[in-house]
Amino acid sequence: MPELPEVEIVKQSLNKIVKFKTISKVIVNNRNLRFKIPKNFEKSLKKKKITKIFRKSKYVIFQINFEQYLIMHLGMSGTIHMSDKGNKKNTNISFYHGRDLPEKHNHLIFFFDKFKVIYNDPRRFGFVKIMKSKDELIKYFSKLGPEPLGNKFNTNYLKQKFNKSIKNIKNSLLDQNLVSGIGNIYASEILFRSKINPLKKVENLTLSEIRKIISKTKFVLSHAINKGGSSIRDFKNVSGFKGNYQKEFMAYSRENYLCLNRGCESKIIKININNRATYYCKNCQK
């Protein structure tokens, strides 16, 4: 599943091609995504202009005609493709899959003047929703925690939240009500760089450790965005560049490899926490 940096890159890619463009028509090939697409979906978007594109947590949000919003979540296997008219080549502007457009599972097609944008999702865990007003949009996201790159995600905020929790730090970072957008990959990377054991209870974290989590979270996510996200398979964004952050993983997917911290001779181990693969160094992460 794409995490905050990958969704941010998808948003940036879409900004380059669909902002201020008018949707000429929409075709829905399959309404049975995670949430069923309503029958009036196509009509509500036809001849409407996309006036803004932004990200909230792991969602891409399209502002339509300054008055309504289209929310898109890629789920586990959703990808977005762009196809030029008269050009058989396609650009995959999503993650974890090859550049070419698959033949099956093209559930949504958005037509513009000179190109089309296609939503493909084999497992159908993704979804789209239309919000009719800004108030409705705000209410929909009201339970999400603050953005980890924003000012509200700070030491005082985490200290207050951790005082009321008995969770371990790995599960806490994955809790979207605590902080929005962090997933399994980046949680492991953040904790490795913070030198904190993923099983450590948050109530036992020191103020210094909380500060480390804040700073390393902002560093890891910002650096991943600058590197174009993590290409677990063969992601390329709309400009044709591949995400490169996976080359800088220090913990994730490095089981049995030597720890990269200077002077450490231990190997990265893999454990499961709530059925999620977790990678860390027993020697460095206390």
Spatial contact of 126 and 78, defined as CB atoms under 8 Å apart: yes
Q: How far is CA 75 from CA 50, 55, 126, in A?
A: 22, 15, 4
Q: Quote the Cα angle for 251-257-259, to 5°.
A: 60
Known catalytic residue: 3? yes
Q: How far is CA 269 from CA 27, 252, 285, in A?
A: 47, 10, 11
CA atoms within 13 A on the CB side of 190: 29
Assign 254 to helix, strand or coil.
coil
Sign of CA dihedral 161, 162, 165, 170: positive
Known catalytic residue: 58? yes
Q: Measured between alpha carbons, how far is 252 from 277 in angstroms, rounded to an integer?
A: 9
**DSSP assignment, residue 140?**
H
User: Which residues partner with 14 through β-bridges?
Assistant: none
Q: Quote the Cα angle for 17-34-118, to 5°.
A: 25
Known catalytic residue: 282? no
Known catalytic residue: 248? no
**DSSP assignment, residue 1?**
-
Q: Which of 34, 48, 218, 276 is catalytic?
A: 276
Q: Which of 56, 58, 161, 227 is catalytic?
A: 58
Active site residue ranges: 2-3, 58, 276
